[in-house]
Structure 1
Amino acid sequence: MEIQSFAQLLIFSTFIGLVGWTITNQVGLTQLKIKTREDWLLDSTGLTIQGILIPLLQATLVYSLYQYLLPVQQGSLKISLVPTFIISFVIVDYLYYWNHRLLHTKLLWKVHQVHHTVTQMDVLGTSRNTLWTSLLIIYLWIHTLFIFLLADPTGYLLGVSLTSALDLWRHSRLIIPGNSRLYQLLSSWLILPQDHAWHHCSEIHNYNYGANLKIWDKLHRTYYESENLPSIIGITISLNLFQKLLFPFS
């Protein structure tokens, strides 16, 4: 229970901190002022789905599904804290890399395209998506599976919370200056906001799919590097609000 509370606190404090920074930053505040009502609705709905409904779904229906399918495996994996953290932060990160690439294929792009309608990197747009897109993201299923199987999921939950906090930061404009020591320390291995901004760039396609680690993009030659933010972010799609929320097909 304590680790779950810590995980929730880390994610919530990261979100509040980034929103606070956005409000006090002149560029960020300007971005908020020019957001349309549709943008606000899409973003707030996405945050509600991802921050409240998905965790509830994981804790109830998905967890119950694993209890039904694997009745004797609950708590059967006796792994210590560090390896379970590595599973969460590294191995699941690699699975997500391919999951994300799949969402960019012709087969699933229409389901994912709404996420790419954000026109500025903005922490509020982190979870902008069609309402049921989360069902196609492995986090919903694999996080619940490992929490179900692990005798002590403490390390795994730490990895989940850190990944979620980094996801919020990655979608913000709080970039680390390229001439700083912190940038030199992190830029070789961690996906930074400027890296993910290029993923959302309308001029550069099919790069920077990773969530936590750059190694997957570098390994599969999908990494694009720049210390700066792109000048143009986001795509325009000819869908109405109903389609964006529920039926993203035209």
Structure 2
Amino acid sequence: MNPVQTILITAIFVGFGLAEVISGRYKRLSIARDDWKVESVMLLLLLVLIQPGIFLGINWLGLRYAPQWQGALAFLPAWGMFLVLLVADDMTQYWWHRISHSPLLWPLHRAHHSAGYMSVRVVYRNNFFYYAMMPGLWISAVLIYMGFGNVYIVYVVLKMLVIIGAHSAVRWDEPLYKIRALHPLMWVVERTISTPATHYAHHAITNEDGIGHYKGNFGNFLFLWDVLFGTALITRRYPSVVGLQDDISYGKEAWSAEVFFPVFKSTRSHSALGKERIIVE
């Protein structure tokens, strides 16, 4: 990861985290005992092992087997590279996220939804293999090898600003909805990028209140993909409860199973992470 990129994303992450603390919202979060293990281990593995491993691996393979392609697309204008990244990284992540709510891949994404709270802590909370197999990371690595490096820095900082903001306990969009003069602007914003209102709905524990929408609102950077592919729900409201009902009914899963399934499996009854998987989303 580029040092400038690292500094900026860290500043965004810390900034939203401090805002949660200062506003008192973090103190009010109901956080289970082992949640910090899932989040800290996965953050460390993603930033130290998975992403650098993919990027360095693709660079090594490129130099060894396709040196002629190094920087081959560097002639493209910055705006063109940015648009390519929106499709090659963000749209593919939309589809990866969407199919991860299918029975086959749900165990690799379940950890992200098992948090009973919304916070910056949830941003990188996922299974190891969810990130290791994410198509967008591999495609981005190829594009960086082909000359997208500088534009990728700008792209990923903006993307993480949106994603971190959409997960934060500080709902930045909430006061803006109350300003009548901003209604036209917010109509465009909430259909373009992920906001707390649309993404909280995706983490809701139920759809029955007309606010939750865990079978949709899959967008990460752009919410536009949900609009285009028919999975969007916009209510400008926030679900009262987030998380997973089966965790409430049967108890939290072991953090090791959440992060490393299928290497480690759950011993809990009625589990999507067990030897005999029961799919409950």
Length-normalised TM-score, structure 2? 0.80
Residue pair 1:172, 1:193 contacting (<8 A) in 2 also = yes
- In the alignment, structure 1 residue 102 sits paired with structure 2 residue 99: yes
- In the alignment, structure 1 residue 188 sits paired with structure 2 residue 191: yes
Partner of 2:69 in structure 1?
73
Alpha-carbon distance in structure 2 between the residues aligned to 1:91 and 1:61: 19
Partner of 1:245 in structure 2?
259
* Structure 2 CA distance for partners of 1:194 and 1:62, relative to 1, 3 Å: same
* Structure 2 CA distance for partners of 1:188 and 1:112, relative to 1, 3 Å: closer
Residues 58-97 of structure 1 deviation map (CA, whole Å, 9 limit, x = unaligned): 3422322333443321111121211112222355322211
Higher relative contact order, structure no. (Cα contacts within 8 Å, ≥ 6 residues apart): 1
* Structure 2 CA distance for partners of 1:216 and 1:59, relative to 1, 3 Å: closer
- SS of 2:128's partner is coil
Alpha-carbon distance in structure 2 between the residues aligned to 1:6 and 1:81: 18
Residues 169-207 of structure 1 deviation map (CA, whole Å, 9 limit, x = unaligned): 111122212123363552232210111111111213311
Partner of 1:20 in structure 2?
18
Report deviation, 1:22.
1.2
Q: Superposed, which structure 2 residues align to 1:158-237 within 5 Å?
A: 158-175=154-171, 176-177=173-174, 178-180=177-179, 181=182, 183-184=186-187, 186-204=189-207, 205-235=214-244, 236-237=246-247
- In the alignment, structure 1 residue 113 sits paired with structure 2 residue 130: no
Gaps of 5+ in 1: none
Partner of 1:86 in structure 2?
83
* Structure 2 CA distance for partners of 1:245 and 1:214, relative to 1, 3 Å: closer
Q: Superposed, which structure 2 residues align to 1:21-60 within 5 Å?
A: 21-31=19-29, 34-60=30-56
Residue pair 1:10, 1:162 contacting (<8 A) in 2 also = no
Residue pair 1:50, 1:134 contacting (<8 A) in 2 also = yes
Report deviation, 1:241.
2.5
Report deviation, 1:125.
1.4
Partner of 2:279 in structure 1?
none
Alpha-carbon distance in structure 2 between the residues aligned to 1:40 and 1:67: 39
**What one-letter code is carried by the residue in structure 2 that aligns with 1:89?**
L
Alpha-carbon distance in structure 2 between the residues aligned to 1:218 and 1:188: 7
- SS of 1:37's partner is coil
Larger radius of gyration: 2
Overall identity of the aligned pairs, in %:
25
**What one-letter code is carried by the residue in structure 1 that aligns with 2:120?**
V
- SS of 1:233's partner is coil
**What one-letter code is carried by the residue in structure 2 that aligns with 1:84?**
M
Partner of 2:268 in structure 1?
none
Gaps of 5+ in 2: 208-213, 263-272, 275-281
Aligned length: 245
**Bigger CA drift: 85-94 or 95-104?**
85-94
**Bigger CA drift: 216-225 or 168-177?**
168-177
* Structure 2 CA distance for partners of 1:46 and 1:202, relative to 1, 3 Å: same
**Bigger CA drift: 177-186 or 82-91?**
177-186
* Structure 2 CA distance for partners of 1:227 and 1:218, relative to 1, 3 Å: same
